[in-house]
Chain A
Amino acid sequence: MSEEKNKDFKATSRKDAIKTIFKGTGYLALGGLVWGGYVDDRKKPELVLRPPGALKEDIFIKACIKCGLCVEACPYDTLKLSIPSDNKVAGTPYFIARDIPCYMCTDIPCVPVCPTGALDMTSLYTDDILPKPDVNKIRMGLAVVNKESCIAFWGIQCDACYRACPLLNEAITIEYDKNERTGKHAFLKPVVNAEACTGCGICEHVCVTEIPAIKVLPLSIATGKVGNHYIKGWDPEDEKRLENVNSDVNNDKDNSGAIDYLNNSDDLLEDEE
């Protein structure tokens, strides 16, 4: 009798154990799907400018611990910490160039305070003997001109962005062009050079149009990529990529099937008669 009772007890406890496991899995699945869905939505690449020296966006959002030390270090109040209603990864630093751009402090105070390495000083070092950060190596984004809304492209003289750029005549240059409409004036068109542009956003900040005609976009959005199969034949460095390429064309393929198919197509010839 007692044995039987014992058996019963065991059976219940096993059932309970299975139930508990089932329930636990259920909790995890329910929570995971809801919460995971939200997280997944939030980590999509964002249209947001990060502080100097930031790692690539997908690694940056892993690495940023949201302590706000970079924000505290910024003397111009350029950097802000996002809040949940911003539709960004909450607590991560960013700046809006139109409001307050990055003024490119030469000692870059926001970067060395980063405890995790999400803002990476080593990426800004020059090749000098003593590692010294170089503000001009910062790449926060790239300025893009919308020529339809830029009044310089209309023929009105405006070189606000060109004059404000900390890399005067390097990051933005002026291209002269003849104004065919008047026949006697020149266009002074601003052109952004991606090799030099740091993405500081001062140009966007000073732009005179109602909505800036020059905007700084994150590099991942502003830049394209050619792909490996294009090689600059006029550039000896680029040509080197061809040195070790196996250029043998594979002619072993049996083409007889295709040829036979054409030769044997009697029906075609008959139709022509």
Chain B
Amino acid sequence: MKNNKYLILRRIIQIGILFLFFSGANFGINILKGNLSTAIVADKFYLSDPYAVLQMLFTGYIPAVEVIIGAVIILVFYSLLGGRIFCSWVCPLNIITDFASYVRKKTGIKPALKMKTVSGNIRYYVVILGLLLSFITGIASFELINPISIFFRGLIFGSVFSLSTVLIIFLFDLFIVEHGWCGHICPVGAFYSLTGKFRFLKIYHTYENCTLCMKCKRVCPEIQVLEIIGKETGNIKSSECTDCGRCIDVCDDNALKFKLKM
């Protein structure tokens, strides 16, 4: 039987967060207002995207302290809980890029470049470049082109044109580079993998149960993190793991599970 527990749970959370923002903007329900760049929770306190605030600081503008506190809350939350857990459980673009790999698998389309032929380190250069350009040009440079926030704003404020950005990402992932956006370019995910080195929530592999079916490697969007599969028992160490739980879903041998480790 196909098990999609975590996939369904993730979609519920992703769409749920989107819906809360949407109702904040359109129905006057104040649980979450704003968007992923900065949100106000129940009209009480702010949450901010730490990478966006960091870019803002690099432009030389110091925002109100509530925003900085909001960014620190988010940073500490993701760093401690799951690093890139943002990517697979919150980010709306994840639905698009997952859909691209789903289409690729169903149709057998081969992208121009396989996942491993393009260095996975480009994204870290993008992180640095985003800050550097913010400093030089005096405007938060990645926020100017950030497809996550463009998509999110488009969904909340209903602008159809924003969807062209999403289409670019979808086609890029489908035809040009396998897992191209999330796995190679996106500096937001890269930022969280840099700060998520010491996260608590990790995926735990039990070597003894593994039958080497390699189903996990076929679904994983960051294959390099699964290097210990079939080799040793232990945690997935690399913070490039998005904690999406797809590998747990597809594993028929109870060899993978989530584990909170302090």
Contact = CB atoms under 8 A, between A and B. Distances in A.
Interface string B128-160: 110011001111110111000110011011010
B138 A31 contact: no
B34 interface: yes
B96 to A, nearest CB: 16
Given A67-B38, A68-B25, A61 B156 contact: no
Contact of A32 (B56, B129, B140): B129
B128 A38 contact: no
B93 interface: no
Given A65-B56, A115-B70, A42 B34 contact: no
Interface string A109-138: 000010111000000000000000000000
B149 A66 contact: yes
A81 interface: yes
Contacts of B56: 62-63, 65, 116
Contact of B153 (A66, A113, A117): A66
Interface majority SS on A: helix, strand, loop or mixed? helix
Interface residues of B, number: 49
A66 B136 CA distance: 20
Interface majority SS on B: helix, strand, loop or mixed? helix
A83 B154 contact: yes
Given A27-B122, A27-B125, A83-B162, A39 B144 contact: yes
A69 B137 contact: no
A173 B33 CA distance: 42
B71 to A, nearest CB: 10
Interface in A171-191: none
Contacts of B132: 28, 32
B3 interface: no
Contacts of A81: 153, 157, 159
5 contacts: A39-B137, A72-B24, A115-B38, A115-B67, A116-B56
